[in-house]
Structure 1
Amino acid sequence: MIEVAAAIIENEQGQILIARRKKGKSQEGMWEFPGGKIEQGESVHACLRRELLEEMEIEILPHAFFGMNDHYYGSNHIRLIAHKATYISGVIHLVDHDDFRWVCREELKEFSFAPADIMFVEMLELES
């Protein structure tokens, strides 16, 4: 099983950051909540801060557990652990993605999300 952290990042307007996986990556063309693999001995919050700095060059402040989803991509078992986070600073520069958007919860259903992220999309829509 691979543990992966995902950030539900909100800006001051209450919009949520989503990103599209670039060509050549697994789940290419699918939208996701940004994050990455949790390294051995690393906390979810530390992972999210590190990954968002590496992948988007932004600083975030993870603050609350949002949910966990076990998903199988073929024989690969992924445990996706989502935490809510606040955008702190930085200008987004994409590394593992080819597009990003700040969207309202009501707009999330307009995007094709990676299967492991869909549960969190549904949870966010219920919050609105």
Structure 2
Amino acid sequence: MNVVGAVIDRGGRILCAQRGPNGSLGGMWEFPGGKIENGESPREALIREIDEELRCEVVVGEEVTTTSHEYDFGVVTLTTFWCELVAGTPTLTEHAEVRWLAPTELDQLEWAPADVPAVAIIGSA
């Protein structure tokens, strides 16, 4: 499964989103995003997913990293991108909570395994 995640930077702080308590990886933290639909580019998917999940508009920038992780439900290939919030305020529609953290604070949260490599890259940048 190919998915995308948004590393949204606002004034040097990164948006972190906590998954709801029910479902796979419940309560873990992630960079918001989702599945790439047929016919979509990764950047198009990310713009759509952020609109759906957070009711915000982002500009998608450079890729952070692409990683794969094997979960019990299958292999997830996650591509994360730096993003800039250009319209709207993050509104919870699927997530339990969002936090804005400094890059050096990201490792304080329990991240979904596929997101961990991006967290390490951002935290050391």
Settle same-fold status: TM greater than 0.5.
yes
Mapping of 1:113-128 within 5 angstroms? 113-127=111-125
Q: Where does structure 1 differ by over 6 angstroms across 4 or more consecutive aligned residues? A: none
| Length, aligned pairs only | 125
Query: Given the two structures, how large is their TM-score scaled by the length of structure 2?
Result: 0.96
What one-letter code is carried by the residue in structure 2 that aligns with 1:49?
I
Match of 1:5 in 2: 4
Identical-pair percentage: 35
Q: Which moved more, 1:112-121 or 1:69-78?
A: 69-78
How far did residue 75 of structure 1 move?
Answer: 4.9
What is the CA-CA distance between 1:14 and the residue it aligns to?
1.2
Partner of 1:107: 105
Return the alpha-carbon distance in structure 1 between the equivalents of residues 54 and 96 of structure 2.
11
Distance, in Å, in 2 between the alignment partners of 1:25 and 1:54 is 18
Q: Deviations over 1:19-51 (max 9, x none)?
A: 000021311100000000000110111111100
Backbone CA RMSD of aligned residues: 0.9
Structure 2: which amino acid aligns with 1:105? P
Q: Tell me the residue number matched to 1:50.
A: 48
Per the alignment, in what secondary structure is the counterpart of residue 48 of structure 2?
helix
2:15 and 2:100 in contact (8 A); partners too? yes
Q: Which runs of 5+ in 1 are unaligned?
A: none
